[in-house]
A and B are shown apart, each in its own frame.
Chain A
Amino acid sequence: MAGSPPSAAPVLPDGLVAVVKRDCPTCVLVAPVLDELAARGAALTVYTQDDLAFPLTAVPVADDTNLAVSWHHGIETVPTLIRVKDGSEVERTVGWSRSHWEALAHVEGLGAGLPEMRPGCGSLSLDPDLADVLAVRFSGSVLRGRRIELAALEDEMEATFDRGWTDGLPVVPPTEARVLRMLAGTSRDPADIVAVVPPDLTAVTVEQVAINAVLAGCRPEYLPVVLAAVEAACTEEFNIHGLLATTYFSGPIVVVNGPIAQRIGMNSTNNVLGQGNRANLTIGRALQLVVANLGGGRPGRLGRPGIDMALMGAPGKIGCAFAEREADSPFEPLAVERGLAPGVDAVTLFAGHGPTAIVDQLSRSPESVTRSIAAALRAHGHPKLALGFDAMLVVGPEHGRLLREAGWDKVRFRAELDELLMMDVDDIVQGVDGIDEGMPASMAGRRVPKFRPGGLQIVHAGGDAGLFSAILGGWVGGAKGSTPVTHPVTDIPSTVPSPPGGPA
């Protein structure tokens, strides 16, 4: 549905046009110069941004207190002096500079008694308190989404719950100003199609993803990561439809690699899978809100089944994203292992949940800690099942240090793990140990790996202290379920706003 049409850019009158504000000392300083220009016969129009009583005597003051002229004509500094011919701008100068003003106005001897030059002030149209309102007022055509008016007596937060837009937690109401600000986080066109989102197979636009990123509480600089995550989730290999519909616990987990993680303030250290970091929590949440609100994949509630048939689900399904701790990792980053160049910003989507703790506080050698980790991994899903369920192993820094100091890289660690994760089917066949569950008798006598090839992802994350690692349990792996997908994060504008106070 079309948004409101953009307001047309006001045409500037021919001759000289000045834009000023009373609040700017340089503008007040040049007021006599403007009078002088008018007195010397120039066709001059002076727009004021704030005060219609701007002190001029020889020329009337034109009203730009709604800032339409300033916004449409890109005024960044006041005073700005523009020469206009046949309705088009020919040249402009900003601030006060005698030589520039004289050259532009084709006169000499301007502003006797004034200094040679004086810098101007910021245009009111760039005031941070006004910029969003003006963008909404003057660029209405950018947003195509359906506008919904919340009634004056309606509580905004309650309204979003009433309309079914939330995941059970409050969301940020997606006003036009907030959505426009969010869209500044990507250089992609708001109308671009990002992905076709199951289960309704909705082709969703950058704008629609941005609206849900607002709901989730994202900052604009997170948006490229959210867009990459949506793209990766909605691939045939990742199979978000099946992940959504399964009775199993898992949901999409987003692992972020590359310099963007630190730049947008993602957490890769203490409490990396926990609460407290806005980027980690809202990026994963935005993806899940896209699936729910745009894909139609809502969970059931209060006994009514939805598309999400999870028996119990997992807390991380509200959204789960984290950054890999790359700086002192014994391993190459996950995205590099999966084929991208070092230093490329990337997301890797994994169908999982968790974490499950691996405790080993006594190992002081890489061999010993690897055996501990393997023993825990062998129990993943069920100690008597192999080849079915994927996993992501999160190696904690204190465990990782044992590997790094012994010179074990990821290839070596994987080789050791692979051997330790081989299981004799005879030990785990159905019925053994008095447990009906297990591997089928038809596989008796064989030796099989716990995980399918490619079914175990390994990353490094967590704080400095604590001799633990963790397993993020995965869903059915491979073509029968979900295959992890890595996508680069792209279309980051050169002027992405920084988080307040810098990276966390």
Chain B
Amino acid sequence: MARKLPAKDVVIIGLGWTGSILAYELAKSGLNVVAIERGPWRDTATDFPPAYAQDELRYAVRLDLFLRPDQQTMTFRNNASQTAMPIRSFSGFLPGNGVGGAGVHWNGQTWRFLPTDFNIRSHLEERYGKEALPADMTIQDWPVSYDELEPYYDRFEKLCGTSGKAGNIRGQKQAGGNPFEGWRSSEYPTPPLKQGLGATLFAEAARKTGHSPFPQPASNLSEAYVNPLGVKLGQCTYCGFCERFGCGNYAKSSPQTCVLPALMRFPNFSARTESEVTKINLDSTGKRATGVTYVDSTGKRATGVTYVDTSGEEWEQPADIVLMCAFSFFNVQLMLLSGIGKPYDPQTGQGVVGRNYAYQTTSSVSLILKDKILNPFIATGAHGMIIDDYNGDNFDHTGLGFFGGGYMGFGQTGARPIQTRPVPKGTPKWGAEWKKATAETYQRACSLATHGSSYSYKDCYLDLDPTYKDRLGRPLLRMTFDFHDNELKMSAFLTERLAEIAKAMDPVEITASPRKGPYDSTIYQTTHNTGGTVMGADPATSVGRRSRDQRAQSLLPELGRAQCLCARRRVGVPAKSRLQPDRHGGRAGVLDRRRHS
């Protein structure tokens, strides 16, 4: 039976980027805030110091910092004709865990959505006609525009100290930046990272073929920086151990390096780690969240019973405001388990929770160059030269047979000894020949990538699995997802365009690998899983929205002055590093019930 704790003003589920930023703002305003985090506390010098952070086997292969499936997982199927099976080992996407969440081990690629992403449906219909989009494509407009969100993008980049070069400052195009980006109110807080030879060669080839390359916006800082909270970050050392790794140099933006030192100073803020929220409690009318029930997650441990860590007991933490700041999947699962909102029914198309799950459609072009020393091990998570010419609706889609696009370019994040062993086609997979080829090819090989969109469809959604349960006896989340023709055609197109640029780099070997269907959940792309809690103007098709009305579906009380933060965090999160914009306008994250005054 759950024991009731003294009430707090705010309870935050998950202490990652979203949770820590909201915790800071709300604690600063004087509210009593408690954050409940499923995973452990993580600290730079204790958990990923430079002395051993760069351990590929431990972190990249054995996934030391990531969620373990036996703590929480989900089931997967491509479509409703299949039976979803549990993911027993994460490989296609890697949910994070612990304080800092994915902010600890992300690459730091810090993008803004394009202005047209915010009103994607009405924009595409206006340009290409109302009948242009497939009938089962369920993208919709966001209830907020790029212009409204821009100050918060700016604020987030300043919080991070993001390194980059602006391409458009208040309408004035800037040389060296991205000419397609939405207008920015200011330059990036720190200058762009230095580029390696590979990125430089790509940029030359891109320019030669009529494209506009620019340095990828990076939250691996090019120089030391003090952010608006007074927290200091260090300079990136280009160590090439970024994604999947914590940064020991205080140089990668994360809750640890940007927010927590300031947040932990508030005596009215507390965090409870290794405590898993099992349910959001509702009052008897079902209309108002009254707090959460959580279970300490390490109940199997033999060590004594303590209040936070090891009791395995159920605690009820009452609060006036409940903020869902877990990763997209787990917010959706929690809503479904708690009976919040109407679950999505793919048959009827009714309901909102779980609707419009989307992902990302990446592809690659690998090259081997001649007589080059690329030093690919000198890298950061987000350096590289990119083009946006084929992103979103930046190009005319007339007659192409698809919509959407992506950014692409040279963004190789490292060349680590276990997982990066490029060899020419036809090389044996082991033995003396393989060793020789590895040694000869390493310095000359590189990989280009496209990060393409993933629009929403009627038959791509999240719901609760009818069979499989987690360790606490709760139904697992079930993911139903496959690529549609639109995405595969888009990927083929983007990959061809990238291959053309790659050819201009004069390679001795080139391998273009467009994304092929069906979607295989074991092949790693990114962890840019989005959707399930769509944000929109219409309660029939959205979970979160901006509205003055008290509606039955909106169960969480208003955040008052924290209102805009939710919008900013949801959209302003570096989309490419954590979540690919899902084009329908929805992003799981903070649920809010805001009143815009």
Partners in one complex: no
